[in-house]
Structures are given as C-alpha cells and as structure tokens.
Structure 1
Amino acid sequence: MLPKTNQTVPCVIVRASMLGTLTLLLMACNTSRPAPSSAALTPQALADSGLTVGSTRSLQVTTLGFANRFLRHTGDLGFTDVVNASSADALKQDASWKVVAGLADKNCYSFESVNAPGLYLRHAYYRVRLDKGENSPLFNNDATWCARDGLSGTGVSFESKNYPGSYLRHYNAELWLAKKGEARPTDAAGSFEQDTSWNIAGAWSNVIIDPPAPPPVTPPTTTRKLPPVQANWSYNIGAKNTSAMNGGATPSGSVISLDLYDVNAATIARLTGAGKYVICYYSAGTSENYRSDAQSQRLLAPNLNLGEVGRGDGGVWEGEKWLDVRGFADGASSSAAAKAEVIRSVMASRLELAHQKGCAAVEPDNVDAWANDVSQNAPAGTPKKAIPAAAQLAYNRWTAQAAHAQGLSVLLKNNLDQVAALSPAYDGALVEECLGFDECDLLTPFRDAGKAIYVVEYQNASFATAARRSTAARLHLNVVLTDVDVNRLNPITRFGNW
C-alpha cells in the first residue's frame, strides 16, 4: 500500500488468509504519492450527485452500452450486473450500499453493504471485494474512496485513499482497483475514463421502479474530419502494400485505407502531410490469432469465439473466428454481457490506437456476423445464425459512438441489410463487391445524406462497363478495381463521377 506523504512510514505487505483475517508484515519505506488526475468534488457537486453520508445508493455504470448494469457483490467479491425492476429482491439488495463517512478520511466515503451490515467495499491485491470491518489502518484505508469529478466528464469517479491515482473500475464485469497505463490488464487505457465513472442512483433496495436514466454521453472534445464525398481513392490494406508505404511509397489516391496494425504512425503522418485522407482498417467482429499484441490476444479466449469466418470461395479465412457479440443486446445475460465487456475494452483500445497513430477515420470490418453462418467449427450447439440482428445493431452503434469519442470518423463496412438503421450513426460506407452482387442500391441512405461511399471490386478492367459506371454515378459511388490480395499500390482503374 502506498504511503500518503514523503515521510518514512510503515509500508504494509498483506498476506491474506480467511475472509476478514489478514497477516501484516511491516517495514520502513520512503516513497511519494502522485497527484490525483481528477479534481475533488465541491460540496455542491456532492449534493447534486446524491452522494450524502447516511443515504442508501446504487452505483450505476456509465460506459456506453452498459448503463443497465450496477455495482453489486456476489459472495465476497465485487461485480457489475444488470438490475431492473423485475430483478430478484436479493440482487437488488446486493446492488445497494449505505454511504458512510470514509473509515480513514471523513472527507471521503466508504460503502457498507445493505444486506451484509458491517461489511465494506475494499480493495485487496487490486481486486475489489466485500470484507468485514476490522478497524485497522490497513483495512480503513483500503475501504475509503474519495469522490472526484467523473474522469469521463460525467458522474463520479472514486479514487483510492491509499493508492492515489488508482480508481474503482469495472472490467469484464468484475470490480478492480485500476491505474491507467500500468502493466496489469485491468489498467488498460481503452475506455478507462468511462469504466471508472459512476452514476449515483437511488438504491434498488428502496425502489420498485426503473432507476433514473443514465447520464447523457459527453460529446467528443475533438472535431473529426469527415471523409470526402467524392474522391480518387486507393484500397491498400494488404501487408505487402502497407510494407511498401512504410518504406516510402505513396499511392496516387487522395483517400487511402491501410491496416491499423501494419502501418507506422510516421507513414500516416507523411501521407497526411501530403494531403491524403487516411482510413485505418481493423477487424471489429473477429479474433485474429496472427495478431501478437496483448489486446488482440485477449480475444482468443475460447468463450469469446464462435465459428471460423468463411470465404466466398467456400474456404475460411485462416486464423479468424467470429466474436460472440450477443452481450451487446438489451436484456443480455450476465455471462453474455461479461463477454461483451471484454470485446468492448479491446475495441476501445484499437480506436485509441487509431487516434494515436493519426488516422482520420476507421473501417471496422466483420460487423455483419448476424447475416453469416457462425457455426463452422464452432462450440457444440452453436446455431448457424447465432447473432441476433438487434445485438449486431447495438454493437455497431457502440462502435460508431466509440470512434467518434476518439475524434475519428467511421465508415460502415459492408452489412448492407442494416444500412437503413445504421447510416445516421456512421459518416459513410466502405463496401466490397456491391456492384458485382448488384446490391449497391441498399447504400441509397448514405447518398441521400450526402455521405461518402467507397466501393472496392476485386475485378479486372473489363468489369468497368458503361452500365456499372452509370450505377456509380447515380448512387455517388467512388469505385476502385484491384487485386483480391489488395497488394497493388494503385488500383487497376477508378470510376464514379457525378
């Protein structure tokens, strides 16, 4: 546990045994506390939040797509769970907390369980749990949380009294003490601010109606640059192609799509400086066993994966499996929602990477699992169409919101049958082979909204017939023809003028 000041004070090493019983080893140490990254709430802000000593409250998640979840205990561990008016009384009790003056600092707070009086929310080895108060300095500090302005710009964040800079965070439906950017997976930067911001709601143990509506999403502070509606463009996501650009090659198009992981930040800066609009590709709907970064490796957990991703030629895309996004739908089970939290966390980190690298927009691929057979070599009992349309819509809307929160424009990749529902949330579309399959008319909502539509066809020059050129002009399509491996620096041809 970190000391409060620069003075030499007892450092505590904790050896846990049974619940409520700790063995302490003491030694002298000297260290300093970092400054908290969020301001303490003013008395008026505390009153407005509903966080008052003696009240009974429930703590509501504010993260996009998960505002139906509340902090609760299960046994002696902290989790989040979906709670509503029809939930069992026991769950409502688990999700209700008595607000008391901080056990270690009366200017802060501690949370006593409503249905287990005398047990408090505390951290131990970074996991947040329910423990019996023992009135020791260690316990009192572990169970004291200082209210700060919500790190996301809404709600309240709770900073640990004895781990300054560390906050109460939900992660994979579990509660953790987390510090942004540290080495533990639970410290991952993706969606950190949202995951550590809580809405103070009326206690579920006292109410029988739905809780207050979640706070509004804070608008992004950065202004995104919209994709050009009409442009010569190049589709360059192939590994060989990206490698050439990292080596200094420059395509002729004014809009370029590149692989988020393969392209260097320096390459994006060079292309942007040359007047190019850079779109970054990543897979939002599949795991990829060839990605070696830690976030991508998290998606390889067997419980997150469904079947292999089929190719149009009857084969499969090697190393890719559909992700189980059913937990994004309203009313999803706790286990499904926990899977969705992992996926959301990984994808949020990818969008943050896109922002850091300097991408102007993103092209999230494989966002049409609902329309595909996801049962190929999947866990036993997986239906061919396992993903409901509603879950896909919810996930895709979250993706657009999360991209915008990073100051990125976002293009809907394929998924033509949901264009009518999703076009208001997206800044344009990037579509494969809609001319070849005669389905480009489904993109009309994007055209009518004056948004960019980029189409790639894996065909030779003879594909560019007068009839297809006419369709492109009518629907405002920017079309390129290229090789199926997407390794050409410049397309075979481009068309689409209106």
Structure 2
Amino acid sequence: MWQPDVGSSIQMILSGTVNPSAALAPSNVDIFDIDLFNTPASTISMLKSQGIKVMCYFSAGTSEDWRPDWSSFQESDKGACLPEWPGERWLNVRSQSVFDIMAKRIKLASDKGCDAIDPDNMDGYGNQNGGGFSLTTNDAISYTRRLAAEAAKYNLAMGLKNAIEIIPSVTNTVQFAVNEQCVENSGDCEAYAGFGKPVYHVEYVSSRSVSSGTLRKNCANKAFSTITKLMSLDGWVTYCDGSSASTSILQTAEGGGVECGGLGKVNPKLAQVGTA
C-alpha cells in the first residue's frame, strides 16, 4: 500500500477533469486528487505514466443525485439535505446497504488505477442531528475503519477528509488526511498535532489574486502540504512558494441537483461556488 510522504505536493481538481491532450501543469507535482466518477481510467493512466500518484475523490457520507449509482441508495438511508448543495443528502453510514455501495466505489477506484481514495463528508455526526440519523463520532470511527479495510483489500491508501474530532481514533487507520479551511476555521489546524502523516491542506479564496499576506497565513504550518484554490476546485492552484499553475481541464456537466429543491439543470458542484 502506498504511504504518501509528509511534504509531498498536491493538485486537487474536482470541477471538470484533467485534459489529457494538454501539457500537464504543474509538471512537478507529486499527487493529483481527482473525481472518481468523472475521470476516465485513461486519464489516470496518463497521470501515473508521468510519475504522479492519483487520489480518487467520492462522497462517502452523502448521496448526490447526479452520480451514476445514486438510484442504488435506499430512500430510508437518505437523510437531511445539505443546504449548500441541491441534490445532496446525508447518508446513514450505519447502514450495510450504504457500505455495500461504497465498497463498489472502492472497487471502481481500483479498477481505474487509483492509488488512494479520498472519501468526503465523513463528518455527518456534526450536521443536522447527524444528518437526521443521530450519527455519532463512534459511528464515523467505525465507518472510517470499515472503508479503510475495504480499500486495503485492493492495496489502496485512504485519507480522512476533515472530521477532525475523530483524528486520534483513526490515525493508525488512514495513510493521510485532507483538510479544508482549517486556517479559516480558527483552531482546527491544531487538531493534526501528532498526526505524523501527510496533511493535504486547502484554503479557499475568492479570486486568483492572492496576496503574500494571505499566503503567509495559509502556509503557517510548515508540516502541511498547503494549496490555495478557488472554491470551485478547478484547475487553478497557488503554492506556498508563491508559484501558481492552471491545469487544463475538460468541463463536465451531467444532470442532477433535483432533490432538496434544486433546479435540476446541471451538476450543482460545477454551477455554484462552494467546496466539492
């Protein structure tokens, strides 16, 4: 199983997919974190041929009605809507049916050639009465361990996305962490003290003009692998040394966003400003 190195560099693209026909930028990055469903296996193979490790993103804690396996979720397993995301609902992560769907996603990650999985929304316990299921941190710990064990069957590494309250209980379970906005959410960065594994840290800005002061603030923790991104998580990225790059991407716009009051015109994660 791949164990990323502390300090390794990352590019994170969850809106659109990497354009395999364009020259790759940045050319010296260690890892690309990309969408599991939208990214073809051929693109993953291209990245790996250039010595890049590939993390594959999917939501493990919510249903998204634009995903191809969305109809597999039982209605009884879908809970409260995420106010920011039309078409997205918290899942009952205690459900065996939910886990079975995630197991298929993990196999898909293996079949496509991913080196690791980046499962999102593991912190349902802290949202809307546990998503409507009274989920607890113990539920999140158990779910994280089950997903990691399933990933290990395919020799896939796994990260913990946010969910900082459970870090001490799963440090020996995951191979890395992904954090969004721990600088913006004052005090959250300290939760990784003693983690001892890579923390891929992203802070969001509203424009591509990033001041040196903002970079100093975002990059204060030298143990983190920090990037600054637009909240759309497209191809643009800025690193702590002040360098920027724009990965050429192909836009994807599948249908969805009907549940929870959405208009159902496009994938809401491409149409709205917000973290994916």
TM bracket, shorter-chain basis: 0.7 to 0.9
CA contact (8 A) 2:151 2:157 kept: yes
CA contact (8 A) 1:432 1:455 kept: yes
1:367-406 alignment runs, 5 A limit: 367-374=122-129, 382=132, 386-406=134-154
Tell me if 1:228 matches 2:5: yes
1:36-75 alignment runs, 5 A limit: none
Q: CA deviation at 1:464?
A: 3.2
User: 2:240 aligns to what?
Assistant: 494
CA contact (8 A) 1:433 1:455 kept: yes
1:150-229 alignment runs, 5 A limit: 224-229=1-6
Cα pair distance change 1:355/1:464, threshold 3 Å: same
Candidates 67, 72, 89, aligned match of 1:298: 72
1:240-285 CA-to-partner distances (Å, cap 9, x unmatched) read xx1x424445231221100000101111111101011111000000
How far apart, CA to CA, are the structure 2 residues paired with 1:320 and 1:247?
32
SS at match of 1:445: coil
User: Which runs of 5 or more structure 1 residues have no equivalent in the other structure?
Assistant: 1-223, 311-315, 328-339
User: 1:323 aligns to what?
Assistant: 91
How far apart, CA to CA, are the structure 2 residues paired with 1:304 and 1:249?
43
Percent identical pairs in the alignment equals 26
How far apart, CA to CA, are the structure 2 residues paired with 1:363 and 1:262?
14
How far apart, CA to CA, are the structure 2 residues paired with 1:226 and 1:245?
27
Q: Which runs of 4+ in 1 moved over 4 A?
A: 246-249
How far apart, CA to CA, are the structure 2 residues paired with 1:342 and 1:411?
22
Amino acid corresponding to residue 431 of structure 1 in structure 2: N
1:355-382 CA-to-partner distances (Å, cap 9, x unmatched) read 111111110000000011158xx8xxx4
Amino acid corresponding to residue 373 of structure 1 in structure 2: Q
How far apart, CA to CA, are the structure 2 residues paired with 1:444 and 1:493?
22
RMSD: 2.0
Q: CA deviation at 1:296?
A: 3.1
Q: CA deviation at 1:354?
A: 0.5
CA contact (8 A) 1:479 1:495 kept: no
1:382-431 CA-to-partner distances (Å, cap 9, x unmatched) read 47xx2122112111111111111211000100001111111110101011
Amino acid corresponding to residue 442 of structure 1 in structure 2: A
Candidates 437, 462, 466, aligned match of 2:216: 466
User: 1:432 aligns to what?
Assistant: 180
User: 2:163 aligns to what?
Assistant: 415
Q: How many residues align?
A: 235
Tell me if 1:274 matches 2:274: no
- Higher share in strand: 1
CA contact (8 A) 2:183 2:217 kept: no
User: 2:265 aligns to what?
Assistant: none
How far apart, CA to CA, are the structure 2 residues paired with 1:226 and 1:324?
30
SS at match of 1:424: coil
Cα pair distance change 1:260/1:246, threshold 3 Å: farther
How far apart, CA to CA, are the structure 2 residues paired with 1:290 and 1:246?
24
How far apart, CA to CA, are the structure 1 residues paired with 2:55 and 2:241?
19
Amino acid corresponding to residue 32 of structure 2 in structure 1: I
Q: CA deviation at 1:232?
A: 2.4
User: 2:192 aligns to what?
Assistant: 443
Candidates 85, 101, 105, aligned match of 1:346: 101
SS at match of 1:442: helix
SS at match of 1:238: coil
User: 2:30 aligns to what?
Assistant: 254
Q: CA deviation at 1:231?
A: 2.1
CA contact (8 A) 2:20 2:43 kept: yes
Tell me if 1:264 matches 2:11: no
Q: Which has the larger radius of gyration?
A: 1
TM score, norm. by length of structure 2 = 0.79
How far apart, CA to CA, are the structure 2 residues paired with 1:296 and 1:406?
23
Q: CA deviation at 1:492?
A: 2.8
Cα pair distance change 1:495/1:302, threshold 3 Å: farther
How far apart, CA to CA, are the structure 1 residues paired with 2:22 and 2:160?
29
How far apart, CA to CA, are the structure 2 residues paired with 1:250 and 1:321?
35
Amino acid corresponding to residue 275 of structure 1 in structure 2: G
How far apart, CA to CA, are the structure 2 residues paired with 1:468 and 1:457?
7
User: Which runs of 5 or more structure 2 residues have no equivalent in the other structure?
Assistant: 243-276
TM score, norm. by length of structure 1 = 0.45
SS at match of 1:464: helix
User: 1:59 aligns to what?
Assistant: none
CA contact (8 A) 1:480 1:495 kept: no
